[in-house]
């Protein structure tokens, strides 16, 4: 097992790229701020696109509600529940309507960021700089190989956000192959907190 990665036919970049499986935010939303409406209109193709409804899925929670997103000039400007869905029956909660603001937020990070300040501390500026995905994947792969060679895989930790079931399997396999038990989900701040309340008061473990 120790030589698994070293002898694998996949390149280190291909392995890490496949294992990372970064989840892209699904384009959803309705109640846009004025500046976001302007942003949607500003990217027009000049073709006089009147807009069209496109099928989509909300990833605001684990219900995976079916949605329809209204696209104008390549931009999502409105969302509604898919009337043909047997999951949410055409309905939608505020999460699906607000996600579009997150998608077009000017402060959204769209590229990997690398720390350049070696000093760490609460009052230290990490001095992050943008790097390419190739640089990020190669850096991560090099660090993983270094940990394996030094028998320090316990120092590896994967922290991830929302996931699908298929990505969950991939994440789980990745940490086991590397040799680390540190596979940490955002669930500690989300689903687990919701489930523990009824579990300790009513003995029920699950979503309402």
CATH number at residue 60: 3.30.200.210
- The answer to the question of residue 8 being in a domain is no
Residues 141 and 123 in one domain: yes
Q: Is the dihedral of CA 104, 106, 111, 112 positive or negative?
A: negative
* Furthest CA-CA distance within the chain: 60
Share of the chain above pLDDT 90, in %: 41
More confident residue, 46 or 194: 194
List the single range of 49-63, 134-148, 152-166 with lowest mean pLDDT. Answer: 152-166
* Structural domain containing residue 196: 156-207
- The answer to the question of residue 45 being in a domain is no
Residues 135 and 161 in one domain: no
- The H or E element spanning position 115 is strand 113-115
Mean pLDDT score of the chain, rounded to an integer? 78
Considering its fold, how many domains does the chain have in total? 3
- At 36 the pLDDT is 45
Which of these, 116, 114, 113, lies nearest to 124 by C-alpha position? Answer: 116
- At 155 the pLDDT is 94
List the single range of 28-37, 40-49, 146-155 with lowest mean pLDDT. Answer: 28-37
- The answer to the question of residue 36 being in a domain is no
Phi first, then psi, for residue 49 (nearest 5°) are -60, 120
Each residue's pLDDT tens digit, 23-38? 333 333 334 444 444 4
- The answer to the question of residue 192 being in a domain is yes
List the single range of 35-39, 118-122, 142-146, 156-160 with lowest mean pLDDT. Answer: 35-39
Residues 122 and 99 in one domain: no
Residues 145 and 173 in one domain: no
pLDDT beyond 90 at 126: yes
- The answer to the question of residue 42 being in a domain is no
Give me the residues paired with residue 117 across strands: none
- At 197 the pLDDT is 83
What average pLDDT score do residues 132-137 get? 96
How far is CA 202 from each of CA 3, 187, 196, 199, 205, rounded to the nearest angstrom?
49, 21, 10, 5, 9
What average pLDDT score do residues 154-161 get? 87
Phi first, then psi, for residue 169 (nearest 5°) are -60, -45
What average pLDDT score do residues 6-23 get? 48
Pairing type for strands 66-72 and 75-81 reads: antiparallel
- At 33 the pLDDT is 47
- The answer to the question of residue 27 being in a domain is no
- At 81 the pLDDT is 94
Residues 128 and 168 in one domain: no
- The answer to the question of residue 20 being in a domain is no
Q: Are 100 and 79 in contact (CB under 8 A)?
A: yes
- The token pair that represents 4 in the structure block: 């698994």
pLDDT beyond 90 at 118: yes
Q: Within a 10 A sphere around the Cβ of 164, how many other Cβ atoms?
A: 14
Residues 170 and 199 in one domain: yes
- The answer to the question of residue 170 being in a domain is yes
Which of these, 71, 70, 63, lies nearest to 89 by C-alpha position? Answer: 63
What average pLDDT score do residues 167-186 get? 82
């Amino acid at each position: 097992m120790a030589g698994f990665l070293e002898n694998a036919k996949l390149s280190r970049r291909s392995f890490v790229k496949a294992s990372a499986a970064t989840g892209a935010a699904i384009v959803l939303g309705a109640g846009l701020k004025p500046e976001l409406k302007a942003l949607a209109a500003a990217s027009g193709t000049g073709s006089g696109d009147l807009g069209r409804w496109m099928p989509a899925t909300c990833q605001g929670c684990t219900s995976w509600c079916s949605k329809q997103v209204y696209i104008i000039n390549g931009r999502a400007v409105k969302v509604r529940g898919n009337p043909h869905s047997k999951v949410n029956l055409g309905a939608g909660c505020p999460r699906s309507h607000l996600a579009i603001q997150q998608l077009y937020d000017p402060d959204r990070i769209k590229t990997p960021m690398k720390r350049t300040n070696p000093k760490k501390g609460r009052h230290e500026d990490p001095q992050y700089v943008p790097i390419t995905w190739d640089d990020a994947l190669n850096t991560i792969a090099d660090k993983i190989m270094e940990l394996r060679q030094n028998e320090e895989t316990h120092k590896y930790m994967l922290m991830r956000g929302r996931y699908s079931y298929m990505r969950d399997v991939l994440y789980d396999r990745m940490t086991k192959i590397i040799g680390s038990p540190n596979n940490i989900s955002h669930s500690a701040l989300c689903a687990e907190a919701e489930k523990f309340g009824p579990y300790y008061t009513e003995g029920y473990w699950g979503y309402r």
